[in-house]
C-alpha cells in the first residue's frame, strides 16, 4: 500500500495543462425535456398520421456502431437514444410498443427508458459466429413487428414508415409478411416539426452552446507553441463533457501555416506562425446540438491570412445583423458574402455558380486533386507523407453560410441564396463564414443563433468571434 505521506509523482504536462482554468461565465444546466413535451409531440404526430389515412406508424433507427444511431427519430419522439422499432397506432387507446435490442450496443437504458412507451420487447442478438444462434436480427425484428400488428388487428392496414436508408431491409421484410397492407414513407410528419424549437428545446440548445463556449475557452487556456492537437482536443472535450456534454467526438481541429484544413488530431505540434481552426460541428446535450467555429493565430501571420480572417469575421457579422423574424433566409445568406465580393474574392453570392472547395470540375466532371508534396514534419515523423494539395480548388468550404442545428441526422435547412423561406421565432442555426485558398490562407468562423420574438440571440457570444491571438 502507498503511504499517505509518501512523495507523489508529478503529473505529466498533459494532466496539468488545465490547471487554473475557470470559464468566464457560469454554465446553466437545464433538465431533460418534460414528459408533457413528448405528449404534445405524440399528439401532433398521431393527428397528422390520421389525416394522412395511416392506421399505424413504424419508426425505425438502427445502430451504426460506437453506441450511435442512424437517425434521431426515436430520440425526438420518445427520448430513446438507442436503436429500435417503435410502433405507434393512430388510435389513442392503443399503447405504443418498442422492439429493441438489435445488438449488444444497448446494455442498459441510456439516459432512461423511452417516454410514453408502455410495452418494450427485447429482440436479442443473432448470428452463428458471435452468438451461436442461427438467424438474423433483421428477420427477428420484422417477424415480431408483423405479429404485433396482427395482434392489433392491423395486418391489413395503411402503414406509415419513418426511418432512413438502414430501414430498407426492415420495410422490405414487412411488405413480404404483410402483403395486404399499404406502406407509405412519411418522414415529413416529423421533419416538419424540426423547423421551429419550443421554449424548452431552445433552453437545451442554449445550454449546448454554452458547453461549446466553455470547451473553446479551455482550448484557449492550453494553446501555446509545443502543445499538440491531441492536448487541445482533450482540453476542449474534458471541459464540456465534465459539465454534461453527451459526446466528445462532434468536432474537428486543423493546425497548419495556411488556415483551415480540418480533421481529427494526429499529433501535430503547435508552432509559431500557424493558424488553428476549432470547428465545433456538434456539442450534444440532452440530444440537441450547437455549433460554432473559431480561429486561433499563434504569433505573427501573413497579410493574406489577416485579410481572410477579417473578411470571414465581417461575413458573419453582416449576415447576423439581418437575423430577425420575417427576414428572408436568402437575404441573410447573400449578406454574408458581401465582404467577399467587395474584396474581389467572389463575383456574386449565387450558390449554384459559386466556386467552393469541394466542387466538381466543368460540367460536373471529377476534379483531380493536385499532386504535390506538402511538408508536414509531425506526420512525416510517423513515416507518412502528404502528397496532394487539399482541396482541389479555392473558395468557401460550401456555397452556403450555414444551416439548422438541432438533433443529429435530422434533415437540415440551409442558409443560402436559393432558400427564400422566412426566418421564424424558434429557429436555431449556425452562421459560419468560410474561405480556403490551399497553401495560402483560410478561415472558418461561425456563431450559433436563435431567432427570438423580436430579433436574434447569439448563443455562442461567450467567446468573441474575432480570431484569438496567442503570443509565440
Asked whether residue 24 is assigned to any structural domain, the reply reads no
In this structure, are residues 395 and 359 in contact, taking their beta carbons and an 8 Å threshold? yes
Its domain, for residue 353, covers 199-470
pTM of the entire predicted model: 0.94
For position 118, which CATH number holds?
3.40.350.10
Per-residue pLDDT for the chain (472 aa), expressed as one digit of tens each? 444 555 566 667 888 999 999 999 999 999 999 999 999 999 999 999 999 999 999 999 998 888 889 999 999 999 999 999 999 999 999 999 999 876 666 666 767 789 999 999 988 888 888 888 899 889 999 999 999 999 999 999 999 999 999 999 999 999 999 999 999 999 999 999 999 999 999 999 999 999 999 999 999 999 999 999 999 999 999 999 999 999 998 999 999 999 877 889 999 999 999 999 999 999 999 999 999 999 999 999 999 999 999 999 999 999 999 999 999 999 999 999 999 999 999 999 999 999 999 999 988 899 999 999 999 999 999 999 999 998 999 999 999 999 999 999 999 999 999 999 999 999 999 999 999 999 999 999 999 999 999 999 999 999 999 999 999 8
Our CA dihedral for 235, 64, 69, 118, rounded to 10 degrees, sits at -130
In this structure, are residues 465 and 316 in contact, taking their beta carbons and an 8 Å threshold? yes
Query: Looking at the structure, do residues 261 and 393 belong to the same domain, yes or no?
Result: yes
Q: Which of 165, 194, 223 is the last residue of a domain?
A: 194
Query: Looking at the structure, do residues 160 and 240 belong to the same domain, yes or no?
Result: no
Reading the block at residue 208, the C-alpha cell is 449546448
Containing 98, the helix (H) or strand (E) segment is strand 97-99
Question: Looking at the DSSP assignment, which residues form a beta bridge with residue 105?
Answer: none
Q: How far apart are CA 240 and CA 18, in angstroms?
A: 13
Q: ω before 383 within 30° of 0 (cis)?
A: no
Taken in order 31, 32, 33, 34, the sign of the CA dihedral is: negative
Asked whether residue 12 is assigned to any structural domain, the reply reads no
In this structure, are residues 468 and 297 in contact, taking their beta carbons and an 8 Å threshold? yes
Q: Which of 154, 172, 194 is the last residue of a domain?
A: 194
Query: Looking at the structure, do residues 264 and 321 belong to the same domain, yes or no?
Result: yes
Q: Which of 139, 172, 194 is the last residue of a domain?
A: 194
Query: Looking at the structure, do residues 181 and 237 belong to the same domain, yes or no?
Result: no
In a 3-state reduction of DSSP, which class is residue 74? helix
Asked whether residue 270 is assigned to any structural domain, the reply reads yes
Asked whether residue 5 is assigned to any structural domain, the reply reads no
The C-alpha angle with vertex 291 and arms to 307 and 332, in degrees rounded to 5, equals 60
Query: Looking at the structure, do residues 423 and 291 belong to the same domain, yes or no?
Result: yes
H helix runs in 387-441, sequence order: none
Q: Measuring CA to CA, which residue among 87, 91, 104, 90 is closest to residue 146? A: 87
Q: How far apart are CA 404 and CA 186, in angstroms?
A: 21
Query: Looking at the structure, do residues 188 and 203 belong to the same domain, yes or no?
Result: no
Asked whether residue 9 is assigned to any structural domain, the reply reads no
Amino acid at each position: 500500500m502507498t503511504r499517505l505521506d509518501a512523495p507523489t509523482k508529478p503529473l505529466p504536462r498533459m494532466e496539468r495543462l488545465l490547471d487554473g482554468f475557470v470559464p468566464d461565465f457560469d454554465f446553466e444546466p437545464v433538465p431533460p425535456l418534460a414528459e408533457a413535451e413528448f405528449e404534445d409531440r405524440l399528439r401532433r404526430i398521431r393527428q397528422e398520421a390520421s389525416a394522412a389515412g395511416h392506421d399505424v406508424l413504424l419508426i425505425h433507427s438502427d445502430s451504426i456502431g460506437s453506441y450511435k444511431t442512424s437517425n434521431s427519430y426515436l430520440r425526438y419522439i420518445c427520448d430513446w437514444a438507442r436503436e429500435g422499432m417503435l410502433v405507434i397506432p393512430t388510435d389513442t387507446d392503443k399503447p405504443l410498443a418498442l422492439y429493441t435490442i438489435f445488438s449488444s450496443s444497448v446494455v442498459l437504458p441510456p439516459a432512461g427508458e423511452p417516454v410514453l412507451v408502455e410495452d418494450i420487447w427485447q429482440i436479442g442478438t443473432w448470428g452463428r459466429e458471435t452468438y451461436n444462434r442461427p438467424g438474423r436480427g433483421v428477420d427477428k425484428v420484422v417477424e415480431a413487428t408483423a405479429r404485433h400488428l396482427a395482434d392489433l388487428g392491423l395486418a391489413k392496414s395503411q402503414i406509415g414508415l419513418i426511418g432512413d436508408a438502414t430501414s430498407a431491409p426492415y420495410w422490405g421484410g414487412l411488405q413480404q409478411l404483410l402483403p395486404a397492407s399499404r406502406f407509405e414513407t412519411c418522414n415529413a410528419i416529423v421533419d416538419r416539426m424540426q423547423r421551429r424549437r419550443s421554449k424548452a428545446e431552445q433552453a437545451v440548445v442554449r445550454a449546448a452552446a454554452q458547453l461549446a463556449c466553455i470547451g473553446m475557452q479551455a482550448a484557449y487556456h492550453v494553446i501555446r507553441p509545443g502543445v499538440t492537437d491531441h492536448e487541445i482536443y482533450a482540453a476542449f472535450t474534458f471541459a464540456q463533457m465534465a459539465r454534461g456534454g453527451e459526446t466528445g467526438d462532434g468536432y474537428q481541429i486543423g493546425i497548419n501555416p495556411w488556415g483551415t484544413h480540418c480533421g481529427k488530431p494526429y499529433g501535430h505540434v503547435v508552432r509559431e506562425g500557424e493558424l488553428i481552426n476549432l470547428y465545433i460541428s456538434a456539442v450534444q446535450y440532452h440530444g440537441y446540438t450547437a455549433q460554432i467555429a473559431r480561429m486561433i493565430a499563434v504569433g505573427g501571420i501573413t497579410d493574406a491570412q489577416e485579410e481572410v480572417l477579417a473578411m470571414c469575421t465581417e461575413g458573419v457579422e453582416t449576415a447576423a445583423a439581418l437575423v430577425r423574424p420575417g427576414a428572408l433566409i436568402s437575404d441573410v445568406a447573400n449578406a454574408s458574402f458581401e465582404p467577399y465580393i467587395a474584396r474581389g474574392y467572389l463575383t456574386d453570392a449565387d450558390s449554384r455558380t459559386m466556386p467552393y472547395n469541394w466542387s466538381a470540375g466543368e460540367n460536373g466532371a471529377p476534379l483531380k486533386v493536385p499532386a504535390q508534396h506538402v511538408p508536414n514534419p509531425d506526420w512525416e515523423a510517423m513515416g507518412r507523407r502528404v502528397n496532394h494539395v487539399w482541396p482541389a480548388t479555392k473558395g468557401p468550404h460550401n456555397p452556403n453560410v450555414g444551416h439548422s442545428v438541432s438533433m443529429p441526422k435530422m434533415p437540415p435547412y440551409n442558409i443560402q441564396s436559393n432558400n427564400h423561406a422566412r426566418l421564424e421565432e424558434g429557429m436555431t442555426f449556425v452562421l459560419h463564414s468560410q474561405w480556403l485558398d490551399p497553401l495560402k490562407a483560410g478561415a472558418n468562423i461561425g456563431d450559433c443563433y436563435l431567432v427570438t420574438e423580436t430579433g436574434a440571440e447569439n448563443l455562442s457570444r461567450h467567446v468573441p468571434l474575432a480570431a484569438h491571438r496567442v503570443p509565440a
